[in-house]
Amino acid sequence: MNHPVHRFYAALEARAWTEVAALLAPDMIYELPQSRERISGRADYVAFNVAYPGAWHLSVERVVGSGSEQAVWLTVTTGADVATNLAWLTLDDAGLITRLVDFWPQPSEPPPHRPPYVERGWHLGHQ
């Protein structure tokens, strides 16, 4: 739990906004490449999360990385909705988050003509 990535997501889940802000560099950048959206600065990033609709809950599935580059796989549950969140974090020397790039891959149907050895229907699981 001393890992800044774990502390960050635990603070988000707890809506511990002061702690969330304390783990972010003041000029951090938040990016959503799929929708080409960006937020600049921790004040707006925290405000975005404070205002975010829905009773969402985060569960960290995997954290990989070393030093300043980390990748995180999360499950985000909002009522009956279960989403996957893949986040790429950059940390500075003090362990503060300077960049957070968030992906939200959605369920999809396979393309036609998959080969027969492609099994289908297992449940989306994190491990």
> Where do contacts with its own copies occur on this chain (CB under 8 A)?
31-40, 44, 47-48, 51, 62, 64-66, 69-71, 73, 84, 86, 88, 103-110, 114-115, 117-125
Which residue's CB is nearer to its own copies, number 26 or number 48? 48
Which residue's CB is nearer to its own copies, number 16 or number 71? 71
- Shortest separation between residue 99's beta carbon and its own copies, angstroms: 9
- Shortest separation between residue 37's beta carbon and its own copies, angstroms: 5
Question: Which residues face 92 on adjacent strands?
Answer: none
48: three-class secondary structure by DSSP:
helix
Question: Which residues face 35 on adjacent strands?
Answer: none
- Shortest separation between residue 76's beta carbon and its own copies, angstroms: 14
Q: What's the rounded Cα separation, in Å, for the pair 54 and 73?
A: 20
- Shortest separation between residue 23's beta carbon and its own copies, angstroms: 18
Which residue's CB is nearer to its own copies, number 18 or number 66? 66
Query: What would the two tokens of residue 82 be?
Result: 């279960």
19: three-class secondary structure by DSSP:
helix
Q: What's the rounded Cα separation, in Å, for the pair 106 and 90?
A: 24
DSSP state of 41: S
Q: What's the rounded Cα separation, in Å, for the pair 61 and 72?
A: 8
Which residue's CB is nearer to its own copies, number 27 or number 37? 37
